Structure 1
Amino acid sequence: MKKEQVVNCQFSVWYPLFKKHTIKSVILPLPQNVIDYLLDDGTLVVSGSELTSQSSRTNNSDSEEEEDIQWSDDETTTTVTAPEFPEFNSKVQEAINALGGRVFPKLNWSAPRDANWIALNSSLQCQSLSDIFLLFKSSDFITHDLTQPFIHCSDDSPDPVINYELVLRKWSELIPGGEYRCFVKENKLIGISQRDYTQHYQHISKQEASISSSIQEFFRDHIQYQFPDEDFVLDVYRDSRGRVWLIDLNPFGEVTDSLLFTWEELTSGNSLTDNQTGEDTALQECPAFRYTTSEVTVQPSPCLSYRIPRDFLDLSTGEDAYKLIDFLKLKKGQQEEESDEEDAGPQS
C-alpha cells in the first residue's frame, strides 16, 4: 500500500467524484487549535463544561441538591475548563442544521466507530459540536487519523502534508445487514464481504444472487475506472428496494479490515473461492461473495476491545460516580490484607 493510495481515499478527494451516489455531506476545514484539543490527553470534557476536583466527597443531607463531585491531590483544588471554539462551533452547527439536525461525523478517513459506547444513546448520531468532541476524544480510530495515517505504507517517501477536515454526513438509519465491503484489484471487483460479519442475516443467503448482481452493476456503472487508483476498497449499502449506495472508500491494504477474507488471499494473486460453494469464482468471472452462514459462526464485535468496564462508563455518564470510588477502595483494602498476610508468613 502506497502513501498516495491513502491520500486518494480521503473523503474530500472521492466525495466530489461520487456525490450523486452517496449520502449528502458537508466538509469543514479543521482548525489547528481544534486538532490540538483532540490530541490533548487531559480530562475528557466538552466545550463549555467545567470539572472541579477535591480529595474527599462531600454530602450535605440538609441540602436539596448534592454538591458537585470533587477530586484533588494533596488538598489542592484544580479546575479544568474545556476550550471553546465559537467561530468553528457556529460553522458546525450551521452545517448540522442544513443536514437536518442530525449527522454522522468522521475525519478524512475514519469515523469514531470504536467510541459509540461513550455516547448516551450508544450511537454515532450527533446534534452538536459537543457530541462530536465526546466521540472524537474517545476514539483510537480518530487518533490514528491525526497521528499516523501512513503507518502501514510500504514506501519510504516523506509523508504528504494533510489538511485535516471534519466531515458531517446527513444521518441515515442504515440497517447493518445491508452493508457490504467490496475489494477491488486492478479495477476488477474480486470480493464482496458482509460488513457486519458478527451477525447472521437470513436474507443474505436467500438473496445472494441478486445482492451480488446489484453490487456488481453499481460498481461497473458508477465506480469502475472513475477512482484515481486501480486497487481500493469500497463500502456500499443496498437498501430495501435493491438500490446500491456508496458509503466509503478505503485503501487496499492492512489498514482496512478484510472482514471475511484475509489480506493474504486478497493480495496473493490467486483466485478467490466462494464460501458457499467452494468454487473458483474466476471461472464464473464474478467476485467471491462471503457472509456469515449460521448462528454458529457469529462472532463478537471487534469494537468490544475498545470498551471500558461498566463502572467507568457510569462515571463518564454521571450515572453513578461513587460506584467506582467504592470499587477502588475495596480493591485497595483487599490488596492491603493480602500484603499483611504475606508479611506474617506461614503459621504453624
Structure 2
Amino acid sequence: MKKEQVVHCQFSVWYPIFKQHTIKSLILPLPQNVIEYLLDDGTLVVSGSDHIAQGTHINDSDAEEDIQWSDDETTTTVTAPEFPEFTAKVLEAVNALGGRVFPKLNWSSPRDANWIALNSSLQCQNLSEIFLLFKSSDFITHDLTEPFLHCNDQDSPDPNINYELVLRKWSELIPGGEFRCFVKENKLIAISQRDYTQYYPHILKQEESIVHAIQQFFSQHVQYKFLDEDFVLDVYRDSQGRVWLIDLNPFGEVTDSLLFSWEELTCSGEITQQQDGPAFRYTTSEVTVQPSPCLSYRIPRDFVDLSTGEDAYKLMDFLKLQKSQQEDHEDEEAPQ
C-alpha cells in the first residue's frame, strides 16, 4: 500500500465518481481551529453553539457559562470553544440531508466510539453530537495524525491533506446486508461478511444470489472506474436485492481484512484457484460468533483515571452534554 493509494481513498475523491450508486452526502472543509480542538485533550464538547445556531433564545450569561472547579486554594475555569460559522454550515447541511446524518472524516467514521452516544448510535443531529463521537474515537485521531502509518513508501514525503467533515444522509442499514469486497488488479477476488461477529441465516440461504448481485454491481459500476487497480469496497445489498456502494478503502493492512488474512489476499491467486468467481466467506453458525473488535474501545482512558485535573473537566463536560441531549430529546418527544 502506497501513500497515493490512501489519498485516492479519501471520500471527496471517490464520491464524485460513484455518486449515483451511494448514499447522498455533503462535504465541508474542516477549519484548522476545529482540527486543533479535535486533537486537544483539554475540552470534550462545544458549549451552547448548536442552540445559538438554531435561533434558541438564551441569556448572555448562559452563552458564556463556564465550568468551575474549586478547592481551598485555587479556582480553575474551563471554557469550551465555540465555532459559530462552522456550526451554522453544519446545521444547514444536516437539515439539507433530512435532519439526521452519519458523520466521518476523509477516511474513517467514529464507529469505535458509539459507546458514548445516546442509544449507542452514530446518528447525529448537531455539531455537539458529532464532536462527542470524534473526540472519543481512535479511528478519527488516526485519520488526523498518521493516515500513512502502514504505507510501504515511508521515505517519500507525506501528501498534503485537506481535512473534511463528511455528512451522510442517515440510513437504517441492516448489518447482515453489509459486505466487504477485495479488488486486486481490477478483479474482484474476495467477499467477506462485514459484521462477521454475528450469524445471519439469510446469508447461507442466499449465498449464490448475494455473490451474483455483488459481482454484477462491481462489473457494471465500479470495475476500471476507480483511480487504483487494488482497493477494498464496502457494499450493502438491500431487501430488494439492489447493491449500493458504502465506502472505499486502501488495499492494505490499514483496512480490516475480516474473515480473510492479508497474507492470503496479497498472495496472487491463493484464494481464487479453486473457483472462477470471488471467494465468499461468512459466519456459518452461531457457534462461530465472535465478540465485536470494537469492544476493546469501550473503556476509554479518559474515564479510567479521573483522579487529577484535566480528566475531571472532561468528565464534567461529557455529563453536561449528555444531560443537555437528553433534555432535547425529551422536548422533541413531548406532545405539542
For normalisation by structure 1, the TM-score amounts to: 0.81
What code does the residue aligned with 1:160 have? Answer: P
> Structure 2 CA distance, aligned partners of 1:86 and 1:256?
35
What one-letter code is carried by the residue in structure 2 that aligns with 1:21?
Answer: H
Q: Residue in 2 aligned with 1:40?
A: 40
* 1:219 aligned partner, one-letter code: F
Confirm whether residue 138 of structure 1 aligns to residue 136 of structure 2. yes
1:202 aligns with 2:201: yes
Aligned equivalent of 2:251: 252
Question: Does the residue aligned with 1:282 lie in a helix, a strand or coil?
Answer: coil
Asked if 1:53 corresponds to 2:44, the answer is: no
RMSD between superposed Cα atoms in Å: 2.1
Q: In the alignment, is the contact (CA less than 8 A) between 2:108 and 2:143 conserved in 1?
A: yes
Q: Per the alignment, do residues 91 and 319 of structure 1 end up closer, same or farther by CA in structure 2, a change over 3 Å counting?
A: closer
Amino acid at match of 2:285: S
Query: Quick check: 1:284 aligned with 2:275?
Result: yes
1:242-263 Cα deviation digits (max 9, x unpaired): 0000000000000000000000
Do the aligned residues in 2 keep the contact of 1:120 with 1:317 (CA within 8 Å)?
no
Q: CA 1:12–1:220 in structure 2 vs 1: closer, same or farther (change >3 Å)?
A: same
User: How much does 1:120 deviate?
Assistant: 1.5
Q: Report if the CA contact (8 A) 2:214-2:243 is conserved.
A: yes
Question: Which of these residues, 136, 146, 149, is aligned with residue 147 of structure 2?
Answer: 149
1:319, distance to aligned residue in structure 2 (A): 11
For residues 169-226 of structure 1, the C-alpha deviation after alignment (integer angstroms, 9 at most, x for no partner) is 0000000000000000000000000000000000000000000000000000000000
Correspondence for 1:190 = 189
Q: Which residue of 1 is the match for residue 232 of structure 2? A: 233
2:158 aligned partner, one-letter code: D
- Paired residue for 1:343? none
Going from structure 1 to structure 2, the CA distance change for 1:20 and 1:320 (only over 3 Å counts) comes to closer
Q: Secondary structure at the match of 2:168?
A: strand
Once the two structures are superposed, the pairs formed by residues 212-227 of structure 1 within 5 Å of their partners are 212-227=211-226
Structure 2 letter corresponding to 1:53: W
Q: Which residue of 2 aligns with 1:308?
A: 299
Note if contact 1:118-1:317 (Cα within 8 Å) is conserved in structure 2: no
Deviation at residue 46 of structure 1 after TM alignment:
2.3
Q: Which residue identity lines up with residue 217 of structure 1 in the other structure?
A: Q
Does the CA contact (< 8 Å) of 1:190 and 1:287 recur in 2? yes
The reply on whether 1:176 has 2:180 as its aligned counterpart is no
**Separation in structure 2 between the aligned mates of residue 45 and residue 87 of structure 1, nearest angstrom:** 17
Partner residue in 2 for 1:30? 30
- Give the residue type in structure 2 aligned to 1:117: W
**Structure 1 residue 282: deviation in Å?**
3.3
Amino acid at match of 1:80: V
Q: Which has the higher contact order (CA 8 A, sep 6+)?
A: 2
Distance in structure 2 (CA, Å) of the matches to 1:37 and 1:308: 22
Rg larger for: 1
Aligned pair in 2 of structure 1 residues 319, 4: CA closer, same or farther (>3 Å)? closer
Work out whether 1:294 is the aligned partner of 2:293.
Answer: no
Check whether the contact 1:45–1:81 (CA below 8 A) recurs between aligned residues.
no
* Correspondence for 1:61: none
Identity %: 80
How many residues align? The count is 295
For the 8 Å contact 2:47–2:80, the answer to whether it is kept is: yes
1:91 aligns with 2:89: yes
| Contact 1:218/1:244 (8 A) holds in 2 | yes
Distance 1:80 1:318, change over 3 A: closer
For the 8 Å contact 2:22–2:245, the answer to whether it is kept is yes
Work out whether residues 110 and 141 of structure 1, in 8 Å CA contact, stay in contact via their aligned partners in 2. yes
Q: Please give the TM-score of this superposition, normalised by the length of structure 2.
A: 0.84
Aligned counterpart, 1:271 = 270
